[in-house]
């Protein structure tokens, strides 16, 4: 496994692979890898001959009061895990290498980036779409794999790739969960024991909503059930948003459930913001 610290090193590595006729899948990450990331790497390996992983804690997607400095890092362990998965190269640039001295150009998908999480975190998705475009330009992968957990991020990346005719396929991979249903996230280690136990309420609340959902169920009723389950089971969690949106366009839904929808949750435990999602398709249109 090659450790690649410069863009030039990545270009040379990937060009050699391409000349040898190998297809390349990219898995962009911010490191501190867990089973969820490894499942993305395995999906990438199923899709292409070789896998390149990037590890870069991207400053442009963190707001001034967000957790950039305290974002968890463990590079040695990350590299061990990736070597075991048979990854071909790991791109680990410094901030300087990635953005250089000027860094004045951004890629933005304004409409999708300003709603939901984007309304709570201004500029976050602009940082994501910019760094992801840069990674696509540097690695030039055939396929890139992203987790469905970050549902809005995935929708934005798909839209960007469509709008800018980027020549690669975007693959979304289902969320990997702990035994109690908590979506795996690098942020989970920052929860106290009590918060960690309560955090299972996010997944429980969506299961409760899914159980009562059928064609015609009122959206407002689903939201009520979700809120109630979280409030009852996670007294230390502060609900930041409970949204039920069109699963494809993320447009707001109200009235009766009549199309594939996605539940999008954001719940804060102290300094840690947890997000989760579940697609409910009572019409089976997505299958
Ligand atoms: O999902 C993430 O870990 C990040 O947003 C990504 C896609 C690696 C861009 O920095």
* pLDDT number for residue 66: 84
d(CA 26, CA 30) in angstroms, rounded, equals: 13
Q: The whole model's pTM is what?
A: 0.92
pLDDT in tens, 36-82: 999 999 999 999 999 999 999 999 999 988 878 888 899 999 999 99
In ligand 1, the atom with minimum distance to the C-alpha of 132 is 9
User: Cβ(128) to ligand 1 under 6 A?
Assistant: yes
For ligand 1, whether the C-beta of 135 sits within 6 Å is no
Q: What pLDDT digit, counting tens, does each position of 129-164 carry? A: 999 999 999 999 999 999 999 999 999 999 999 999
Q: Is the pLDDT of residue 188 over 80?
A: yes
Residue with the smallest CA separation from ligand 1 atom 3 is 29
- SS3 for the chain is CEEECCHHHHHHHHHHHHHCCCCEEEEEECCCCCHHHHHHHHHHHHHCCEEEEEECCCHHHCCCCCCCCCCCCCHHHHHHHHHHCCCCEEECCCHHHHHCCCCCCCCCCHHHHCCCHHHHCCCHHHHHHHHHHHHHHHHCCCEEEEECCCHHHHHHHHHHHHHCCCCCEEEEECCCECCCCCECCHHHHHCCHHHHHHCHHHHHHHHHHHHHCCCCCEHHHHHHHHHHHHHHHCCCCEEEEEEEEECCCCCECCCECCCCEEEEEEEEECCEEEEEEEEECCCCCCC
Q: Which atom of ligand 1 is nearest to the CA of 135?
A: 9
133 lines ligand 1 (CB under 6 A): no
Which residue is closest in CA terms to ligand 1's atom 9?
128
29 CB within 6 A, ligand 1: yes
Nearest CA to ligand 1 atom 7: 28
- The answer to whether residue 88 scores a pLDDT higher than 80 is yes
How far is the centre of ligand 1, averaged over its atoms, from the C-alpha of 164 (Å)? 19
For 98-135, the pLDDT digits (tens) are 999 777 899 999 999 999 999 989 999 999 999 999 99
- Pocket probe for ligand 1: among 33, 107, 127, 128, the residue whose CB has the most ligand atoms within 8 Å is 128
Nearest CA to ligand 1 atom 1: 29
Q: Which carries the bigger pLDDT value, residue 211 or residue 104?
A: 211
- Residue closest via CA to ligand 1's atom 5 equals 128
Of ligand 1's listed atoms, the one at least distance from the Cα of 28 is 8
Mind telling me the catalytic residues? 37
Segment 213-225 mean pLDDT: 96
Domains and CATH numbers, the chain: 2-173 (3.40.50.620), 186-281 (3.30.1300.10)
Measured from the Cα of 29, ligand 1's closest atom is 8
Instruction: Tell me how crowded residue 230 is: count the other CB atoms within 10 A of its CB.
Output: 24
The confidence score (pLDDT) of residue 7 equals 98
């Amino acid at each position: 496994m090659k450790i690649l610290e410069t863009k030039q090193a990545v270009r040379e590595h990937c060009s050699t692979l391409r000349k040898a006729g190998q297809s390349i899948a990219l898995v962009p990450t911010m490191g501190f890898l867990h089973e969820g990331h490894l499942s993305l790497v395995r999906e990438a390996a199923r899709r292409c001959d070789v896998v390149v992983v990037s590890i870069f804690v991207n400053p442009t997607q963190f707001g001034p009061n967000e957790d950039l400095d305290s974002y968890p890092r463990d590079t040695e362990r990350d590299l061990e895990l990736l070597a075991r998965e048979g990854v071909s190269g790991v791109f680990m640039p410094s901030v300087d290498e990635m953005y250089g001295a000027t860094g004045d150009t951004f890629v933005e998908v304004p409409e999708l980036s300003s709603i939901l999480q984007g309304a709570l975190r201004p500029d976050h998705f602009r940082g994501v779409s910019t760094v992801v475009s840069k990674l696509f330009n540097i690695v030039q992968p055939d396929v890139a794999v992203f987790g469905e957990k970050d549902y809005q991020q995935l929708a934005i990346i798909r839209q960007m790739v469509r709008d800018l005719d980027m020549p690669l396929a975007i693959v979304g991979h289902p969320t990997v969960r702990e035994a109690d249903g908590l979506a795996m996230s690098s942020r989970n280690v920052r929860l106290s024991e009590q918060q960690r136990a309560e955090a299972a309420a996010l997944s429980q609340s969506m299961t409760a909503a899914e159980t009562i959902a059928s064609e015609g169920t009122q959206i407002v009723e689903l939201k009520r059930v979700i809120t109630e389950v979280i409030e009852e089971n996670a007294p230390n969690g502060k609900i930041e948003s409970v949204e039920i949106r069109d699963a494809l366009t993320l447009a707001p839904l109200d009235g009766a459930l009549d199309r594939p929808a996605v539940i999008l949750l954001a719940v804060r435990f102290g300094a840690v913001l947890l997000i989760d999602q579940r697609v409910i398709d009572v019409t089976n249109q997505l299958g």
